[in-house]
Structure 1
Amino acid sequence: MKLSRTFAAMTALACSLTAPAQEHIPAKVEIPFNRYYRYAEMEEWLRKIAAAYPEIVELRNIGKSLEGRDLWVAVVNNPRTGPDTSKPAMWIDGNVHGNEIQAGEATLYSLWYLTKAQGHNADLTKLLDNYSFYFLVSQNPDGREHWFMDVQNSSSSRSNRRPVDNDRDGALDEDRPDDLDGDGSITQMWKQDPNGRWLRDRDDPRIFTRVADDKKGEWTNLGSEGIDNDGDGQINEDGPGGDDMNRNWPSDWLPDYVQGGAGLFPFSNPEPRAIGAFILAHPNIAAVQSYHNAGGMILRGPGASYREGIIPGEDLRVYDEIGRNGEVLLPYYRYMIIYRDLYTVHGGFVNWTAEGLGVFSFTNELWSDAKYFQRDGSSDDTRRWLFRDRLQFGQTFTPYKEFDHPQYGKILIGGLNKWSSRVTPTFMLEEECHRNFGFTMYHADQMPIVSWGRTEVTKDAAPNTWIVTLEVRNEKLMPTRSGLQRQKGIGVNDILTVTPPNGGSVDAAGFLSSWQDTRMDEIRHEPARVQLPGGIPGRGGVILRFYVSGREGEKVVLKYTSEKAKELTGGVVLR
Structure 2
Amino acid sequence: MPAITPPDFDRFYRHDELTRLLHHYAEALPHLVQVQAIGQSHEGRGILVAILTNTRTGAHADKPALWVDGNIHAAELTASTACLYYLHQLASRHGDDAQVTHLLDTRTVYICPRLNPDGAELALADKPRHIRSSTRPYPFDEEPVEGLTIEDVDGDGRMLTMRIPDPHGPYKKHAEDPRLMVPREPGEFGGEYYRIIPEGTLKNYNGFEFRINRDVEGLDLNRNFPSLWRQEHEQLGAGPYPASEPEVRAMVDFFVKHPNIGAAISYHTHSGVILRPMGTQSDDDMIPEDLWAYKRFSALGEKLTGYPAISIFHEFKYHPKEIITGTQDWVYEHLGALFWTVELWAPNKEAGITGYKWIDWYREHPVEDDLKLLKWSDEQCDGQAYVAWKPFDHPQLGPVEIGGWDRMNYWRNPPPHLREREVARFPGWMTQIALSLPKLELLRAEAEPLGPDTWRVRLAVANSGWLPAYVSKRALERKTVRGVIFELELPAGASLVSGKPRMEGPQLEGHAPKSSLQAFLPNRDVTADRAVAEWVVRAPKGAVLKLQARADRAGRVAAEVALG
Which bracket does the TM-score occupy, shorter chain normalised?
0.7 to 0.9
Counterpart of 1:369, as a letter, is P
Partner of residue 427 from structure 2, selected from 430, 434, 437: 437
The aligned counterpart of 2:376 is: 387
The aligned counterpart of 1:10 is: none
Kept after mapping to 2: 8 A contact 1:199/1:218? yes
The aligned counterpart of 1:324 is: 299
CA distance in 1 between counterparts of 2:472 and 2:562 reads: 33
Partner of residue 341 from structure 2, selected from 363, 385, 390: 363
The aligned counterpart of 2:521 is: none
CA distance in 2 between counterparts of 1:66 and 1:308 reads: 40
Kept after mapping to 2: 8 A contact 1:100/1:293? yes
Q: Does 1:145 align with 2:145?
A: no
Q: How many angstroms does 1:222 deviate by? A: 3.4
Describe the superposition over 1:98-147 as per-residue Cα deviations: whole angstroms up to 9, x where unpaired.
11110001101111111011212121011000011211110111111111
Kept after mapping to 2: 8 A contact 1:197/1:218? no
Kept after mapping to 1: 8 A contact 2:75/2:132? yes
SS in 2 for 1:96: coil
Cα distance change, pair 66–454 in 1 and its aligned pair in 2 (3 A): closer
SS in 2 for 1:445: helix
Cα distance change, pair 201–152 in 1 and its aligned pair in 2 (3 A): farther
What runs of 5+ residues in structure 1 fail to find an aligned partner?
A: 1-24, 508-525
SS in 1 for 2:505: strand
The aligned counterpart of 1:486 is: 476
Partner of residue 438 from structure 2, selected from 433, 448, 458: 448
TM-score normalised by the chain length of structure 2 = 0.81
Cα distance change, pair 210–563 in 1 and its aligned pair in 2 (3 A): same
Cα distance change, pair 39–345 in 1 and its aligned pair in 2 (3 A): farther
Kept after mapping to 2: 8 A contact 1:176/1:240? no
SS in 1 for 2:409: coil
Cα distance change, pair 32–543 in 1 and its aligned pair in 2 (3 A): closer
The aligned counterpart of 2:362 is: none
What runs of 5+ residues in structure 2 fail to find an aligned partner?
A: 357-367, 513-526
TM-score normalised by the chain length of structure 1 = 0.80
CA distance in 2 between counterparts of 1:126 and 1:188 reads: 50
Kept after mapping to 1: 8 A contact 2:374/2:386? no
Map 1:414-433 onto structure 2 (within 5 A): 414-417=403-406, 418-433=408-423
Backbone CA RMSD of aligned residues: 3.6
Q: How many angstroms does 1:505 deviate by? A: 4.7
Kept after mapping to 2: 8 A contact 1:302/1:308? no
Runs of 4+ in structure 1 deviating by more than 6 angstroms, as ranges, are: 453-460, 464-471, 498-504, 545-551, 554-558, 570-574
Kept after mapping to 1: 8 A contact 2:172/2:181? yes
The aligned counterpart of 2:360 is: none
Q: Does 1:564 align with 2:535?
A: no
Q: How many angstroms does 1:209 deviate by? A: 1.6
CA distance in 2 between counterparts of 1:475 and 1:563 reads: 14
The aligned counterpart of 1:206 is: 179
Describe the superposition over 1:137-194 as per-residue Cα deviations: whole angstroms up to 9, x where unpaired.
10111111111226568xx32221111357xxx8335652133333322222222233
Counterpart of 1:446, as a letter, is S
Q: Does 1:397 align with 2:371?
A: no
Partner of residue 226 from structure 1, selected from 200, 215, 222: 200
SS in 2 for 1:541: coil
CA distance in 1 between counterparts of 2:429 and 2:387 reads: 36
Kept after mapping to 1: 8 A contact 2:267/2:342? yes
Kept after mapping to 2: 8 A contact 1:467/1:545? no
Describe the superposition over 1:330-383 as per-residue Cα deviations: whole angstroms up to 9, x where unpaired.
11x111222221125555122211111111111111112365257744582233
CA distance in 1 between counterparts of 2:103 and 2:459 reads: 31
Partner of residue 81 from structure 1, selected from 53, 57, 66: 57
The aligned counterpart of 2:503 is: 529
Cα distance change, pair 320–455 in 1 and its aligned pair in 2 (3 A): farther
Partner of residue 261 from structure 1, selected from 237, 247, 261: 237
Q: Does 1:171 align with 2:106?
A: no
Kept after mapping to 2: 8 A contact 1:63/1:274? yes
Cα distance change, pair 305–408 in 1 and its aligned pair in 2 (3 A): farther
Describe the superposition over 1:473-497 as per-residue Cα deviations: whole angstroms up to 9, x where unpaired.
4342353442111111114442245
CA distance in 2 between counterparts of 1:527 and 1:240 reads: 57
Q: How many angstroms does 1:535 deviate by? A: 3.8
SS in 2 for 1:149: coil
Counterpart of 2:475, as a letter, is Q
The aligned counterpart of 1:192 is: 165
CA distance in 2 between counterparts of 1:308 and 1:150 reads: 49
Q: How many angstroms does 1:213 deviate by? A: 1.1
The aligned counterpart of 1:352 is: 330
Kept after mapping to 1: 8 A contact 2:547/2:560? yes
Counterpart of 1:337, as a letter, is S
CA distance in 2 between counterparts of 1:358 and 1:434 reads: 28
The aligned counterpart of 2:252 is: 276
Q: How many angstroms does 1:67 deviate by? A: 1.4
Q: How many angstroms does 1:198 deviate by? A: 2.3
CA distance in 2 between counterparts of 1:375 and 1:100 reads: 22
Q: How many angstroms does 1:469 deviate by? A: 11
Q: Does 1:181 align with 2:154?
A: yes
CA distance in 1 between counterparts of 2:51 and 2:245 reads: 23
Q: How many angstroms does 1:472 deviate by? A: 3.2
Q: Does 1:162 align with 2:133?
A: no
Q: How many angstroms does 1:291 deviate by? A: 0.6
Cα distance change, pair 31–499 in 1 and its aligned pair in 2 (3 A): closer
Cα distance change, pair 307–276 in 1 and its aligned pair in 2 (3 A): farther
CA distance in 2 between counterparts of 1:134 and 1:293 reads: 21
SS in 2 for 1:31: coil
Q: Does 1:124 align with 2:111?
A: no
Cα distance change, pair 359–28 in 1 and its aligned pair in 2 (3 A): same
Kept after mapping to 2: 8 A contact 1:95/1:291? yes
Describe the superposition over 1:242-289 as per-residue Cα deviations: whole angstroms up to 9, x where unpaired.
110101110100011111100111111111112221221111111111
CA distance in 2 between counterparts of 1:345 and 1:136 reads: 27
SS in 2 for 1:239: coil
Kept after mapping to 2: 8 A contact 1:227/1:235? no
